[in-house]
Chain A
Amino acid sequence: MSRTIEAPSAGLGDAEPTVPPRAPAPATPVGSHRRRNGRVGWFTYLVLGITTFFSLFPLYWMFVVASNDSSAVNRVPPAIVPGTQFLENAAQVFEAVPFWQNLANSFIVSILIAIGQVLLSALAGFAFAKLDFPGRNFLLVLVVGTMTVPLQLAVVPQFMIIDQLGWVNDLRALIVPGLVTAFGVFWMRQAIDNSLPDELIDAARIDGARNLRVFWSIALPSIRPAASVLGLFAFMTAWNDFFWPLIVLNSPSAFTVQVALRQLQSQAYVTDYGVQMAGIVLATVPLLLIFVLLGRQIVGGIMEGALKS
């Protein structure tokens, strides 16, 4: 059972009230120490201020280097404010690698993985939460158990399988293995378990709805917030993935942005940090935008996930 603590509101789809959780959530987070006079000390804000600075400075620095020419950054002391050279640096990125194509590849892969994970994980989660079948508990334990297996180590045969399928340099090599994950299945199972009362399913069954109909018309709408958070995580993870795309893609036009960035960085003639950083800015800004818009949901999702584990 998970308690909602600043849980992601249903503000992702249209704000439709969800089924109330079984246990009423506490109105305020508990467990923190409260001073008698009720104020939080200045020391706390100092610690958090320093932490925030260290969290954000490298990204600020990314913008500074990306928008200056290298001589400005290589001065002593270096320029510490953004310059006006960003477009020139970005132009060189597009000269060195087919970056529009790489961005498109990343978008296609990330969106399809997000959709696939939401639907397929929800389907499996629904079965684990609401259907009774022999071996259910054992299979669920198996799903959770697979989360601890370091699958990256099987990369050699994984590559051979992709090669056999004829998917080297093909985006399917990235999409298909990412369509459904143990984390997604577990996440959806918990969400359906918490927000879909049996009575609702019973009522639908009495009206003659079959499993798939129940899943599509009742289960999915009732877990929209959890599904959105999972989709968001899946998108960001796929967008940032590097190891696997590096293995199965070897022609620049098939690269995702991450592999293109590595190519940009390891090319002999682009030792210009301004150009490398301009590439990173282009690859990172989409995610930063998502984060600015939906950061609250992402934070809530991580904290909820922690409680469920």
Chain B
Amino acid sequence: MATPVLAATATARATRRRGGRRSLTPYLYIAPFFLVFGVFGAFPLAYTAFISLFDWNPIGDQVFIGFDNYVALVADPRFWNASWNTVVIWVLSTVPQLAVALVLAAVLNQALLKFRTGFRMAVLVPNITSVLAVGIIFTQLFGRDYGMINSVIEALGGDRIDWVAGTFSSQFAVSTMVMWRWTGYNALIYLAAMQSIPRALYESAEIDGAGAIRRFFTITIPQVRPTIIFTVIVSTIGGLQIFAEPLVFGGQAGVTGGQSRQFQTLALFLYEQGFRNLEFGYASAIAWALFLIIVVLTIINLALSSRIASEK
């Protein structure tokens, strides 16, 4: 749709500045992204819905069965177990993670802090460690017989805990891995937001006699509210797809999330059904169920985090 270039008019000048006549060039520049996203993102996502209506065996037959996969899913105790585990692990890892990150950011956000860059780098180290490395290190630390954590508990007079075997203890251990890896990262995100709070706000609060903790709740938190909401959403979308930590923690029983599925998450259940049992249709139904859970929890969290941040 080339428009004739009318010299000496304002529009023409604007058009010239913006790259001459209307051409396809800009579309070519943005095409790679949309091509990659279309082929490996949007299309597969839609196609997942299609496959979920089949009894789909990649090396056998594909039979259309309507909503039978979903009917089977709702009746499958393994699905409810994985859903519950996913939510518990998500809450255990995300709530303390974001709370600690907020406090940590406020502590890091002091004008005269020494070793500022060093501390910022230190809190970010866990985040550049691969999830596999984190998983293996923590699996060792949480070991029943020789793990450092049990040694410390014993030294303090407690009894050794069989972390992997117990339901809550194993979920706690998996959550610890997630929290360790992401707390510092979120602290830096909050710190960036806190640095753009006008200093005058703090100064006037100080003149009014508000202490540090009071200022944290009445100024800092409301001011970084949009960032809190942002991190809550990102952590919800990411945290509900936890996969590698429980897989590694389970060792050889990793795919089932422990001997009795005590810490199998939905992403792990999806992987087990799809790539261990080759039930592509059933795995796709799990994917849609997980998608639905993510959407619902994101909406709930949006509402909650807006409320909490504004009340404070």
Contact = CB atoms under 8 A, between A and B. Distances in A.
A111 interface: no
A303 B189 contact: yes
B36 A179 contact: yes
A258 B188 contact: no
A158 B40 contact: yes
A interface majority secondary structure = helix
A287 B212 CA distance: 38
Contacts of A56: 122, 125
Contacts of A195: none
A69 interface: no
Contact of A157 (B44, B104, B251): B44
B259 interface: no
Contact of B270 (A148, A155, A201): A155
A276 B140 CA distance: 10
Nearest to B52: A156
A29 B133 contact: no
The residue in B120, B133, B270 that gathers the most chain A C-beta atoms within 10 A of its C-beta is B133
Given A124-B29, A132-B15, A299-B117, A157 B194 contact: no
B interface majority secondary structure = helix
A176 to B, nearest CB: 7
A51 B133 contact: no
Contacts of B112: 34, 38-40
A302 B188 contact: yes
A47 B136 contact: no
B36 A176 contact: yes
B130 interface: yes
B197 to A, nearest CB: 4
Interface stretch (A10-18, A96-104, A221-229, A262-270): A262-270
A220 interface: no
Contacts of B173: none
A258 B130 contact: yes
B45 A153 contact: yes
Given A6-B117, A202-B17, A152 B128 contact: no
A5 B132 contact: no
Nearest to A58: B137
B158 interface: no
B130 A240 contact: yes
Contact size range, B: 35 or more
Given A62-B137, A262-B247, A307 B122 contact: no
Given A180-B36, A302-B185, A266 B133 contact: no
Contacts of A6: 117
B191 to A, nearest CB: 7
A154 B122 contact: no
A251 interface: no
A296 B117 contact: yes
B306 to A, nearest CB: 17
A33 B206 contact: yes
Given A236-B128, A296-B117, A306-B227, A51 B123 contact: yes
B151 to A, nearest CB: 6
Contacts of B230: 309
Contacts of B8: none
B119 A258 contact: no
B188 A185 contact: no
A118 to B, nearest CB: 12
A52 B119 contact: yes
Contacts of A148: 233, 237
B233 A31 contact: no
Contact of B26 (A39, A52, A136, A309): A136
B44 A177 contact: no
Interface in A29-44: 29-34, 38-40, 44
Contacts of A61: 137, 140-141, 148
B67 interface: no
Interface stretch (B74-82, B88-96, B283-291): B283-291
A132 B15 CA distance: 8
Interface string A130-149: 11111010010001001011
Contacts of B110: 32-34, 40, 44
Interface string A73-93: 110111000000000000000
A196 B198 CA distance: 28
A110 B149 CA distance: 35
A54 B176 CA distance: 12
Contacts of B227: 306
Contacts of B195: 3, 5, 29-32, 303
Nearest to B17: A202
5 contacts: A55-B123, A132-B14, A154-B44, A242-B244, A277-B136
Given A55-B126, A151-B44, 19 more contacts: A3-B195, A29-B109, A31-B198, A40-B113, A40-B114, A47-B107, A51-B122, A73-B146, A143-B33, A146-B37, A153-B241, A211-B19, A261-B130, A261-B133, A266-B251, A280-B137, A283-B133, A287-B129, A303-B192
Interface of B: 1, 14-20, 22, 25-27, 29-30, 32-34, 36-37, 39-45, 47-48, 51, 58, 104, 107-114, 117, 119-126, 128-134, 136-138, 140-141, 145-146, 148, 151, 155, 180, 184-185, 188-189, 191-199, 202, 206, 212, 215, 227, 230, 233, 237, 241, 243-244, 247-248, 251-252, 254, 267, 270-271, 274-275, 280, 283-284, 287-288, 290-291, 294
Q: What are the nearest 7 A-B pairs in CB distance? A: A154-B44, A132-B18, A157-B44, A127-B29, A303-B192, A31-B197, A240-B130
